[in-house]
Structures are given as C-alpha cells and as structure tokens.
Amino acid sequence: MKKIAVYPGSFDPITFGHLDIINRALKIFDEVIIAVAHNEQKKPLFTVEERVDMIKSVMKDNTRATVDTFDGLLVDYARSCKAQAIVRGLRAISDFEYELQMAQINRGISREVETVFLMTSVFYSFLSSSIVKEVYSLKGPIDGLVPPLVKKALDAKFNR
C-alpha cells in the first residue's frame, strides 16, 4: 500500500525549515502532500495561490511531493486524500503543548490518521514564516532562511 502523508501549514511563505521537514518526510512516505491551509485569521502576506505556486516551483524536481490547498478539518482532508499520516515538525519544547493538543483532537476525530512528528533540524529551530517577514521588512538578510525564489517573491511584494 502506498504510504501517503499530509504536511499542513500556512506556508506564508515556505522556508528552508519547512523544506527540511518535507525532505525528511519523503524518506519515510511514498508521497507527501503539502497542504496549504485557507487560514485568513493569520492575515497572510501571500495569497493561497501565490503560496501554492512558490511551493510547486521549489518542489518541481520531486514527483513524490504534491501541493494542494484545504479548508475545514485537517483530518477530513487527510482522509479525503487517503493519507495515513499527518506530518508535523517540532522546533522546540514550546511547540509540544500545542502539537500534543492538535494530535489528540485529531485522533479523537479520526483514528484512521496518525500524527507523525519530526524534530526540526537544530539550524532551523528558531525559524518561522513570521520571523522571515519581520527580518525582511527590516531589511535584514534572509538568504539562508528561504529559497531564492521566495526572496524574489518578497522583493516583488515589497517593490524592492
């Protein structure tokens, strides 16, 4: 049976920290679906379409990674994709409580889908999409944090 995992998030924008998790998940699963959430509460900088396009470009050489969008419950989406697992990255102990709650709630909703945690590489443990946007807005360097095409997309957004 094909092992499929969903890696959900806002990806506003995708960072090297996310890519680290995706590439490691691809060693465990046959297919990883990168699922961009419609989450307007976070007031995203990039539209869902822009985020999907960026991820597709970054992952273009990997046929086992697909990109999609979802709204509603994550477990419902995972089941609709026939995914057996949801992949989440843990960056620090501070992530644990929220992730435990999410995993327990999701498991309460559906026992068909397991949550699998991967420890984010130590180099990216401080990273988040918001930090990238903040450093960029203050004209700091983000080269080691996001792929070059994401940097270009930020340049275009901020007319730089």
SS3 for 39-58 is CHHHCCCCCHHHHHHHHHHH
* Shorter beta-carbon distance to ligand COA: residue 59 or 74: 74
For residue 64, the minimal CB distance to ligand COA (Å) is: 19
Is 56 annotated as catalytic? no
Stretch that binds ligand COA, among 23-31, 54-62, 125-133, 152-160 (CB under 6 A): 125-133
The pair of structure tokens assigned to 117 is: 């945690």
**Cβ–Cβ contacts within 10 Å for residue 140, how many?**
11
Dihedral pair phi/psi, residue 84, rounded to 5°: -90, -20
Tokens 């944090």 sit at which residue? Answer: 145
Is 42 annotated as catalytic? yes
What is the pattern of x (binds ligand COA, CB under 6 A) and - over residues 3-42? -----xxx-x--x-xx--x---------------x-x--x
| Residues between 69 and 108 that touch ligand COA (CB under 6 A) | 73-74, 89, 91, 102, 105-106
Residue 149 and residue 51: Cα distance in Å, rounded? 11
Kind and range of the H or E run holding 31: strand 31-37
For residue 131, the minimal CB distance to ligand COA (Å) is: 7
Burial class (CB in 10 A: 0-12, 13-18, 19+), 121: middle
For residue 107, the minimal CB distance to ligand COA (Å) is: 10
CA angle 114, 120, 124 (to 5 degrees): 150
* Shorter beta-carbon distance to ligand COA: residue 1 or 122: 122
Query: What are the catalytic residues?
Result: 18, 42, 91, 129
Residues that bind ligand COA (CB under 6 A): 8-10, 12, 15, 17-18, 21, 37, 39, 42, 73-74, 89, 91, 102, 105-106, 120, 124, 127-130
